[in-house]
C-alpha cells in the first residue's frame, strides 16, 4: 500500500489480525532485543533472518477439535438466529484492500455455503443518506456484527476496506432458498482512518474501532506505538449526529469491540497495549480492564460472558508469510471473562494443528468456534 513502508509493514504487521499465510508455514526469525526491534521499525534495517518451519496439513479433525475447510481467511464469525449457520467474514490479505467475501458455515453439515447479497439501491436507507453504494466487486469485509433492531429487522454490519473505509448495512432474511443479505446503506468515518471491527446498537447506530490514520506515515505510527502514544479510538455513529469519538477510548491500536445486551457497556480489545477495557457508554468512563496478550476480536455469549482471541506469538519474530493453502500454526489462547468483575481466565490454549492464530472465538450452544485471519479453516471445540 502507498501509505506503508514495506519493510516496516513486514516487521510490525506480523502482530496484526491478518497477514496472508503460506501453506502451513510458520516463519520464525532469530531473536532480537526490544531495542533492536525498535531500531528495525524506525529504520527498516532488515535485521531478520527467517527460519521456515513447514508442515503440510490436510482437513482432518483432531481428537478435541472439529475442522471446517474451504474458507479464505475466516477472520470473524457471527451466529444466525436459528443457531444452524454462522456468517463468516472471509478477509482479503491484510492492508491490500483486495476483494473478500461473506459466506456461511452450515453447522449441521459442516460445509461452506454461499451467502447471496442483493446490492440494488434500497427504498429505505438505514445508513448515512449521503453515503453512495459500494463497488460490490471490490467489497472487502473485515469485522462483522449481527443484531435485531428495535423494529424487528435483523441487521448485519460489516467493516469494508474495498476502495474506501466504511461500515456497510445489510438486512438479513431467510427465504425458501435460505439466508440472504440485502444492502441497505453505509457510513464512512471522517478523515482517512483504518477501521477494524464493529459493534451494532439496537437503535440502528454502531460502534467502530479506528486503529490509526492511514495518512500518517507508517514509521510515525510505529514510533507512536513503541513510545506508548495513542494511535486510535472508538467512534459511535448515529444517523442524526454522524460519527462522534467515544470518551476515554484513545489507546494503542483498538481492535475488537463488543457491546452488552443492554447497549450500556462497551468492551474494546487494545491490541498493542495487551489489554481489554470496559467503558460505560453513557458517562464515557473506563470501568475496568484485564490483561491479555495481543487481543484480537471479542464476542459476548448468551449468558453475557466475554470471549477474547489472544495471539501468543512473538509479534516481531514470528509470522505466517505468503500462505496460500492450509492453516497458520502460530499459538493462541481463548480468554473467558466476567463482564462485571473483568476477571479473566484462559479457557483454551493451542499451539499446533489443526489451526493456529485464532482471531475470533464464538460460543454457540456447547461448542466454541474459532476463525483465523490466516488460512483455509474454521475450527470448533467443546465450550465446557
- In tens, the pLDDT along 271-295 reads 999 999 999 999 999 999 999 999 9
Q: Give the separation between CA 380 and CA 375, rounded to whole angstroms.
A: 15
Q: 58: Cβ–Cβ under 8 A, 6 or more apart, which residues?
A: none
The pLDDT mean for the chain works out to 86
- Rounded-to-integer distance, Cα 307 and Cα 332, Å: 13
For residue 1, being part of any structural domain is answered with no
Select from 315, 323, 322 the least CA-distant residue to 40: 315
- Read off the pLDDT band of 96 (50, 70, 90): confident
* Rounded mean pLDDT, 64-83: 96
> How many independent structural domains does the chain possess?
1
> 54 φ, ψ to 5°?
-120, 125
CA distance 353 to 60: 9
| Domain assignment of residue 276, given as a range | 6-382
Is residue 299 in a domain?
A: yes
- What is the tens place of the pLDDT at every residue in 248-269? 999 999 999 999 999 999 999 9
38-42 average pLDDT score: 38
> What cell numbers appear for 310 in the block?
489472544
pLDDT-derived band of residue 57, with 50, 70 and 90 as boundaries? confident
Look at residues 367, 366, 357, 353 and name the one whose alpha carbon lies nearest to residue 63: 353
10 Å Cβ neighbour count for 50? 13
Tell me if 280 sits within 8 A of 242, measured CB to CB: no
Is the pTM above the cut of 0.85?
yes
Q: Does the CA dihedral 262-264-270-276 come out positive or negative?
A: negative
Residue 302 lies in a domain: yes
User: For the residues 58-67, what does the mean pLDDT come to?
Assistant: 92
- Mean pLDDT over 35-59 rounds to 45
* Mean pLDDT, residues 111-126 taken together: 93
pLDDT band at 24 (very low <50, low <70, confident <90, very high): very low
- Within a domain: residue 353? yes
Render pLDDT for 167-225 as a digit per residue (tens, 0 to 9): 999 999 999 999 999 999 999 999 999 999 999 999 999 999 999 998 888 789 889 99
Asked if 337 and 345 count as a contact pair (C-beta separation under 8 A), the reply is yes
User: Pick the residue with more confidence: 155 or 50?
Assistant: 155
Dihedral-angle region of residue 240 (phi above 0 means left; psi in -120 to 50 means alpha; beta otherwise): alpha
Q: pLDDT at position 315, please?
A: 73
Q: What is the DSSP string of 146-201?
A: EEE-TTS-EEEEEEE-SSS-EEEEEEEEEETTEEEEEEEEEE--SSSEEEEEEEE-
Kindly state the percentage of the chain with pLDDT values over 70. 84
The CATH number linked to 60 is: 2.120.10.30
List 348's β-bridge partners, or say none. Answer: 334
pLDDT at position 52: 34
Instruction: Measure the CA–CA gap between 14 and 315, rounded to whole angstroms.
Output: 6
C-alpha cell at 121: 439501491
Answer whether 345's CB lies under 8 Å from 336's CB. Answer: yes
Give the pLDDT mean for 25-50: 38
The CA–CA distances, whole Å, from 305 to 145, 208, 291 equal 17, 20, 16
- Please determine, for residue 91, whether its predicted confidence score (pLDDT) is greater than 70: yes
Amino acid at each position: 500500500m502507498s501509505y506503508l513502508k514495506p519493510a516496516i509493514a513486514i516487521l510490525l504487521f506480523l502482530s496484526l489480525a491478518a497477514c496472508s499465510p503460506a501453506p502451513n508455514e510458520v516463519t520464525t526469525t532469530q531473536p532480537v532485543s526490544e531495542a533492536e526491534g525498535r531500531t528495525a521499525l524506525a529504520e527498516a534495517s532488515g535485521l531478520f533472518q527467517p527460519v521456515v518451519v513447514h508442515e503440510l496439513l490436510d482437513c482432518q479433525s483432531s481428537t478435541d477439535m472439529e475442522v471446517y475447510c474451504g474458507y479464505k481467511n475466516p477472520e470473524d464469525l457471527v451466529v444466525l438466529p436459528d443457531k444452524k449457520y454462522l456468517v463468516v467474514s472471509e478477509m482479503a490479505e491484510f492492508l491490500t484492500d483486495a476483494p473478500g467475501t461473506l459466506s456461511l458455515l452450515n453447522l449441521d453439515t459442516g460445509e461452506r455455503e454461499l451467502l447471496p447479497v442483493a446490492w440494488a439501491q434500497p427504498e429505505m436507507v438505514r445508513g448515512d443518506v449521503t453515503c453512495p453504494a459500494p463497488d460490490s466487486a471490490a467489497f472487502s469485509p473485515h469485522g462483522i456484527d449481527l443484531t435485531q433492531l428495535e423494529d424487528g429487522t435483523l441487521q448485519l454490519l460489516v467493516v469494508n476496506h474495498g476502495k474506501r473505509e466504511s461500515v456497510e448495512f445489510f438486512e438479513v432474511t431467510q427465504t425458501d432458498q435460505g439466508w440472504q443479505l440485502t444492502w441497505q446503506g453505509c457510513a464512512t468515518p471522517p478523515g482517512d482512518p483504518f477501521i477494524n471491527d464493529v459493534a451494532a446498537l439496537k437503535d440502528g447506530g454502531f460502534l467502530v474501532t479506528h486503529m490509526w490514520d492511514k495518512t500518517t506515515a507508517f514509521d510515525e505510527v510505529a514510533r507512536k506505538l513503541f513510545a506508548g502514544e495513542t494511535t486510535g479510538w472508538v467512534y459511535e455513529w448515529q444517523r442524526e449526529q454522524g460519527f462522534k469519538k467515544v470518551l476515554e477510548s484513545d489507546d494503542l491500536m483498538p481492535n475488537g469491540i463488543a457491546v452488552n445486551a443492554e447497549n450500556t457497556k462497551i468492551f474494546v480489545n487494545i491490541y498493542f497495549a495487551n489489554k481489554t477495557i470496559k467503558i460505560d457508554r453513557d458517562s464515557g468512563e473506563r470501568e475496568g480492564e484485564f490483561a491479555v496478550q495481543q487481543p484480537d476480536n471479542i464476542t459476548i455469549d448468551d449468558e453475557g460472558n466475554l470471549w477474547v482471541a489472544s495471539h501468543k506469538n512473538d509479534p516481531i519474530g514470528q509470522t505466517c508469510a505468503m500462505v496460500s493453502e492450509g492453516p497458520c500454526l502460530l499459538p493462541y489462547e481463548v480468554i473467558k471473562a466476567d463482564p462485571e468483575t473483568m476477571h479473566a481466565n484462559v479457557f483454551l490454549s493451542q499451539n499446533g494443528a489443526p489451526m493456529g492464530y485464532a482471531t475470533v472465538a464464538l460460543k454457540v450452544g456447547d461448542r466454541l468456534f474459532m476463525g483465523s485471519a490466516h488460512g483455509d479453516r474454521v475450527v470448533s471445540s467443546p465450550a465446557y
